[in-house]
Amino acid sequence: MAFDSSSGFVAADAVAGLADTALPIFEVLPVQLVPSIAADFVAGQAANNVLVIGLSNGGIMRIDLNRPEDIEDIDLPKKSSEVGVIRRMFLDPTASHLIICTSLGENFYLHSQSRHPRPLARLRGVTIESIAWSPALPTSSTREILIGAADGNLYEGFIETSTEFYRKEDKYIKLLQKFPDGPITGIWADSLPGGQDTRRILLSTPGRLFHWAGKVGRGHDGSASIYSRLFESEKPVIHELPRTSAAAASALVVSPDAEPKFHGDDVPERAFAWLSSHGVYHGKLLVNGTGQELGNKVFAESKLIPRPQLANPEGANRRQISTEYIEAIALTQWHVISLVGSRIVIANRLTGSIVYDQTILDPGQKAVGLCVDLQKHTFWLVTSPKEILEIVPRDEDRDIWKIMLQMQQFDAALRYAHTPAQRDAVAIASGDYLVSKGQHSEAAGVYGKSSKPFEEVALTFIDNDQPDALRKYLLAKLSTYKKSSVMQRMMIAAWLMEIFMAKLNSLDDTIITGAELSETLNPTQTREQLDAVRAEYQEFVNRHKSDLDRKTVYDVISSHGREDELLYYANAVNDYNFVLSYWVQRERWSEALKVLQRQTDADVFYRYSSVLMTHAATELVEILMRQSNLKPRNLIPALLEYDQNYKGPLSQNQAIRYLLHVVNQLGSTDSAVHNTLVSMYASHPSKDESALLAYIESQGDEPKFDPDFALRLCIQHHRVLSCAHIYTSMGQYVQAVDLALSHDEVDLASIIANRAMSNPPLRKKLWLAIAKKVISQSNGIKSAIQTLKQCELLRIEDLIPFFPDFVVIDDFKEEICAALEAYSRDIDALRREMDESSLTAANIKTDIAALDRRYAIVEPGEKCFACGLPLLSRQFFVFPCQHAFHSDCLGRKVLEQSGPAKSKRIRECQVQISKGLVSGEKREKMIAELDGLVASACILCSDYAIKWINEPFIKEDEDMEEWAL
């Protein structure tokens, strides 16, 4: 960690924070305080980005590393001459609680929210060597803690901050156990899986290391001791060293908390290290297990780094430094930091190899504390007189993958491999190891993610007769190629298809013959394996169908005779033409229809409709009726082929059923569809044409079929009723009646003849033809007379020419008499009409004579309705409607509304009269003609007024104010 001068620390090396692999794994960086401190450093502790340093003058300096410019100075409540110099300090992992121990056995407690240390009365005189904080990180109180003393006594305490003067901070202090072999140099407590009540305690003395694991009691709130139960009920597992030296330092340390980059199962297990005169004994703090079993397992997997290996610098004479001991140690995630005299020696915890060995203390300088911040992963060395050194690890796990690889811990090596090249090296080594152990299937998955030559790996599996491993390898390798590597992906996929088919055939043969596949598989397991391989094949096809060449796959699967796999592939790639063709060739109509009903491509229906209509017409029509995207015209050949071979009743004809659906439900107007339906109706061998006639009648006056085509078909197949209806709809009543009469269908002819109601002459002509047919068919007169009664246009005289010569008048004298009487009545009616007409003509003549005596009264002040001037000022006309106009005004108005011919004639008459071009009687006639043209009707009441309907009421040149209300 490096800070600039404005922040309270000054870094000696500006590259302290670089993570370059070319830099050493560890570096020791000296930092200095700003401002300088007068007293020397005597102790130090670090936790949660807080650094606490004890001073020789009895003061305490607390530094928040997040704000290093703020250095807090705290003094003990008594002078150092009274309580002694600060000897040790213990800071909990949250930096909330600090316990200060002096050289005269006085102990003080300081909370992070306080500046005044309080004495711990119950611990007065106890020389504290180690403390184990509660695994449940404390805040307002320390909760239960373990305290190791220099006299070998182990205490449990509970300390909480108090603002009351007479209240003690140490809520209780209880002696748990005494160890006679010296001071308790280190304690560690953590929780094991199973809840807060399951704890592990690791305790060290100069010559022994103890391990307890078990349940603790209740009382986590400080009401009672909780560790008493553990020490009373559980026996420790002890690791003891022979012939230890009392002069050597002893300590117990643990590795920092897991870094945030680790999650879940990837979190590495915590490590411990015990410093003794023999060296550093270290191992993992395993958590799986209980009681002594767990302790035995922890110690069984631990190992010792001998003191000479750490204490002797490289190349030095071992005899010259054989008495030099390790003074202090600390653990990083992968390394052991040792303070040996004036040197910092760092060894890899896995291999024991030295990665850093440097002299960092000047002559006469003494280290007073090697501090570790377990949460923030920082390491500090506090020296006397007053210097702080930071031990900075840089990417310390960079070579861990190599070590794991050498130890053949391939999973761990892969987890700590950072670059693709490293992961590839791990994969190759792991695969080679598995092959050497005969674990080919496991090796296949590893090889598939490596860069080991493809040919070499494939030949390895082939030479060892491992098709399953080869299949697994090819699958893994296929997933590593990019989409752009089309050729490689296609070749591997085709090879895999061959391997799958061979494996499936082998399993099938084993099941059929009842043989054992291997010594480990029975027939039931063989079937299970067959299902598993088939499922694997299906997954392969679904995932890599784009990498498979269809023709190649069809050839490979067909060569092995794998019908199910062939169809599965075809369905997977949506090659429904192949699937349909496959089922059709084998005449498996139900399977073909199942495939067809899932299709939406119209071409598929057109292609297979003929054969399916022949063999499964009903089911096919059901499917066709659910498809709305088909063009029925394209299905007509299949429908006609089916109809040609169909021999059953018309009601069960599936082609007609489908066409009726198209016509009635889909509303098709395609003439080809309607003509096909007419053709099927007309050509059916049944003589019943009710269905055809009903269809034709439903088409109305504008049929969708071709009438000429339908007429030819109906005539060809003797569909008389239908022909007659078509003739009628075409207006060809004569042909319709002739056709009906030619087939002796008199009633039908009568119905057709009555349809020509709007054309009486035609209707009479048709009935005469019917009467002639009736008379020619029977010798009696009764039928002819009955025909006479059906049409009111026929008279007896119309029928007489059709009777044979030998017919006597007595046979129809009654009809003749009735006809004569009818004629008499008609003559009388005509006479009455003539009399009425004569009377009407006489009345008209009388009215005409009375017109000469009609007159109209014109008042003196009356005006012209056209110009508004007095009417009597010049010649004028007066109409019976009492409208009056000047003759010239009326002429102008008439000219404006008259047609070209009448206007021209009026102008000619006016010119000839005004210029005197005519005279005498001719002039009088022309004047009378002019008056007749001009004054034939009033221009305000007659047709002239109707022609002015589009004229506006207000002219453009008129004043709008005259119309204002």
Over 60: is that where the pLDDT of 515 sits?
A: no
DSSP letter for each residue of 128-142: EEEEE--SS--SSEE
Mean pLDDT of 38-64: 90
Q: Where are the domains of the chain?
A: 1-119+364-396, 399-480, 812-854, 871-954
Least trusted range by pLDDT, from 78-87, 827-836, 865-874, 913-922: 913-922
Over 50: is that where the pLDDT of 550 sits?
A: yes
Run of H or E residues at 380 = strand 378-384
**Which token pair is 342?**
């004036």
pLDDT confidence of residue 399: 87
Question: Using CA atoms, how far apart are residues 740 and 762, in angstroms rounded to an integer?
Answer: 16
pLDDT confidence of residue 691: 82
Q: How far is CA 542 from the centre of its chain?
A: 19
Run of H or E residues at 53 = strand 50-55
For residue 223, CA distances in Å to 143, 144, 712, 723 come to 10, 10, 115, 114
Least trusted range by pLDDT, from 97-106, 164-173, 773-782: 773-782
What contacts 24+ positions apart, CB below 8 Å, involve 746-750? Answer: 746/770, 746/773, 746/774, 748/720, 748/721, 748/724, 749/773, 750/790
pLDDT confidence of residue 568: 85
pLDDT one-digit tens code per residue, 866-913: 888 888 888 888 887 888 888 888 888 888 777 788 888 888 887 887
Over 60: is that where the pLDDT of 798 sits?
A: no
Question: Using CA atoms, how far apart are residues 252 and 177, in angstroms rounded to an integer?
Answer: 19
pLDDT confidence of residue 167: 57
Least trusted range by pLDDT, from 145-149, 528-532, 826-830: 826-830
Contact 53, 68 (CB under 8 A): no
Contact 74, 60 (CB under 8 A): yes
Question: Using CA atoms, how far apart are residues 529 and 503, in angstroms rounded to an integer?
Answer: 10
pLDDT confidence of residue 215: 92
Question: Using CA atoms, how far apart are residues 240 and 273, in angstroms rounded to an integer?
Answer: 14
Amino acid at 731: G
pLDDT confidence of residue 2: 37
Q: Is the dihedral of CA 66, 70, 71, 72 positive or negative?
A: negative
What contacts 24+ positions apart, CB below 8 Å, involve 604-607? Answer: 604/576, 604/577, 604/580, 605/630, 605/635, 606/634, 606/635, 607/577, 607/580
251: helix, strand or coil: strand
Run of H or E residues at 838 = helix 813-851
Q: What is the 3-state secondary structure (H, E, C) of 671-714?
A: HHHHHHHHHHHHHCCCCCCHHHHHHHHHCCCCCCCCHHHHHHHH
- Count the alpha carbons within 13 Å of 419 in the hemisphere toward its beta carbon: 7
Q: Which region, left, alpha or beta, applies to residue 588 given φ > 0 means left and ψ of -120 to 50 means alpha? A: beta
pLDDT confidence of residue 782: 56
pLDDT one-digit tens code per residue, 250-300: 999 999 988 766 655 566 789 999 999 899 999 999 998 888 999 999 999
Mean pLDDT of 433-445: 87
Over 90: is that where the pLDDT of 129 sits?
A: yes
Size of the chain in residues: 965
Over 80: is that where the pLDDT of 168 sits?
A: no
120: helix, strand or coil: coil
Partner residues linked to 345 by β-bridges: 338, 357
Which band of pLDDT confidence, cut at 50, 70 and 90, is reported for residue 569? confident
Residues 6+ apart with CB under 8 A from 127: 101, 105, 149, 150, 151, 183
Over 60: is that where the pLDDT of 830 sits?
A: yes
Contact 229, 236 (CB under 8 A): no
Which band of pLDDT confidence, cut at 50, 70 and 90, is reported for residue 91? very high
**Which tops the pLDDT comparison, 684 or 100?**
100
> Percent of the chain at pLDDT above 70?
81
For residue 822, CA distances in Å to 478, 790, 826, 829 come to 108, 17, 6, 11
Over 80: is that where the pLDDT of 72 sits?
A: yes
Question: Using CA atoms, how far apart are residues 428 and 442, in angstroms rounded to an integer?
Answer: 12
190: helix, strand or coil: strand
**Which tops the pLDDT comparison, 110 or 529?**
110
> Percent of the chain at pLDDT above 90?
23
Q: How far is CA 733 from the centre of its chain?
A: 68
For residue 545, CA distances in Å to 474, 517, 596 come to 15, 30, 22
Over 60: is that where the pLDDT of 785 sits?
A: no
**Which token pair is 427?**
């994969």
- The C-alpha torsion from 192 through 194 and 196 to 199, rounded to 10°, is -40
What contacts 24+ positions apart, CB below 8 Å, involve 356-360? Answer: 356/24, 356/25, 356/26, 357/313, 357/314, 358/28, 360/28, 360/389
**Which tops the pLDDT comparison, 21 or 141?**
141
- The C-alpha torsion from 404 through 406 and 411 to 414, rounded to 10°, is 70
Over 80: is that where the pLDDT of 795 sits?
A: no
Which band of pLDDT confidence, cut at 50, 70 and 90, is reported for residue 337? very high
Distance from first CA to last CA of the chain, Å, rounded?
101
**If you ran DSSP here, which 8-state letter would residue 863 be given?**
B
Q: Is the dihedral of CA 491, 495, 501, 503 positive or negative?
A: negative
Mean pLDDT of 951-955: 67
Contact 477, 506 (CB under 8 A): no
Residues 6+ apart with CB under 8 A from 713: 678, 679, 682, 683, 719
Mean pLDDT of 14-31: 61
pLDDT one-digit tens code per residue, 717-773: 877 777 777 766 666 667 766 666 666 566 666 666 656 555 666 666 666 666 666
Question: Using CA atoms, how far apart are residues 606 and 592, in angstroms rounded to an integer?
Answer: 14
Of 93, 99, 144, 161, the closest CA to residue 126 belongs to: 99
Q: Is 81 exposed, middle or buried (CB count within 10 Å of its CB: 0-12, 13-18, 19+)?
A: exposed
Over 70: is that where the pLDDT of 532 sits?
A: yes
Amino acid at 788: L
Mean pLDDT of 633-641: 87
DSSP letter for each residue of 298-314: HHHT-EEEEHHHHHSPT
Least trusted range by pLDDT, from 606-610, 808-812, 931-935, 951-955: 808-812
**Which tops the pLDDT comparison, 363 or 521?**
363
Give ∠ CA 35-40-42 in degrees, rounded to 5: 125
Q: What is the mean pLDDT of the chain?
A: 81
pLDDT confidence of residue 408: 86
916: helix, strand or coil: coil
Contact 603, 574 (CB under 8 A): no
Most distant CA pair in the chain, distance: 178
pLDDT one-digit tens code per residue, 367-415: 998 999 999 999 999 998 888 999 999 888 888 888 888 888 888 888 8
> CATH second-level architecture of 1-119+364-396?
Beta Barrel (2.40)
**If you ran DSSP here, which 8-state letter would residue 943 be given?**
H
Which band of pLDDT confidence, cut at 50, 70 and 90, is reported for residue 6? very low
Question: Using CA atoms, how far apart are residues 632 and 609, in angstroms rounded to an integer?
Answer: 11
Question: Using CA atoms, how far apart are residues 337 and 267, in angstroms rounded to an integer?
Answer: 22
**Which token pair is 237?**
């597992």
Q: What radius of gyration, in Å, describes the C-alpha atoms of the chain?
A: 62
**Which token pair is 497?**
């298809």
- Count the alpha carbons within 13 Å of 723 in the hemisphere toward its beta carbon: 22
pLDDT confidence of residue 166: 47
- Count the alpha carbons within 13 Å of 188 in the hemisphere toward its beta carbon: 20
